[in-house]
Amino acid sequence: MSDPIWRLLLDGRVEGAENMAVDSAVLGAVGARRSLPTLRLYGWEVPTVTLGRFQPVEQVDRGACAGRGFDIVRRPTGGRGVLHDDELTYSVVAGVDDGVPKGITASYRYLSEALAEAYRVLGVPAEITARQRGAKGSAACYLHATHADLSLGAAKLSGSAQVWKGDAVLQHGSFIVSRDSEAEAEVFRLAGAQAVDLDRTTATLEAVLGRRPSVGEMVAAVTGAFARVLGVTLEAGELSGTEREAASIASGAYRIQSVPRCGAPGLTAPG
């Protein structure tokens, strides 16, 4: 029996609200069984702060974001604020019928096994976080680690967030190459020990590897890991017309604050 086919979307650096609208549109289509389960890899046109679905916008310094040229958008998923910049972002949308176990804890663990394998391929011995730790009251996602995250020892590598729609789930998160801790501390109003902890209790690919992995290297690691761990075949595809229309209509609802920008290069599939 052949492996199930999942769709692979390789997008370039996309405007933040559009990224969130596309992820949401794919969830709607996969949940309605109009589209195949999907792994999407993408970047950001400009550094962008994403806030969790129910997170107060007051927890981010809008003036600091404007001064630095950062966008602010709302995620369809829960959780805390994230500054997206030098990273490869993933989103995965699949349903119970595609093998994803029902429930937040079980589904995080199932999908995180593929993420951990991708890190290992890149040379980072990542593990699913064994116990919660960190600043529970912080607005910044990376100051708090949960069972939904990946860690290297006591340092948080990657955070993920989810939302379910019926029997389908959207999970997205980041493979962070480098972190601008000063900017992150400013936009989330971190001071004193919290600002110090942002460097002390987190890790990036560049810091661990001592080099910068290329986008192509990261794409190959992530796609290969998902295919092997989940037992699926990834086939390059594109958004359906229905998904494009839904994303276009919804993008404004995710946009909180934006700055002018120009185009940026896209991702390329692994050879």
Known catalytic residues are 141
Backbone angles phi, psi at 250, to 5 degrees: -90, -15
* Contact indicator for 104, 119 with CB cutoff of 8 Å: no
User: Residue 225 is which amino acid?
Assistant: A
* Contact indicator for 28, 256 with CB cutoff of 8 Å: no
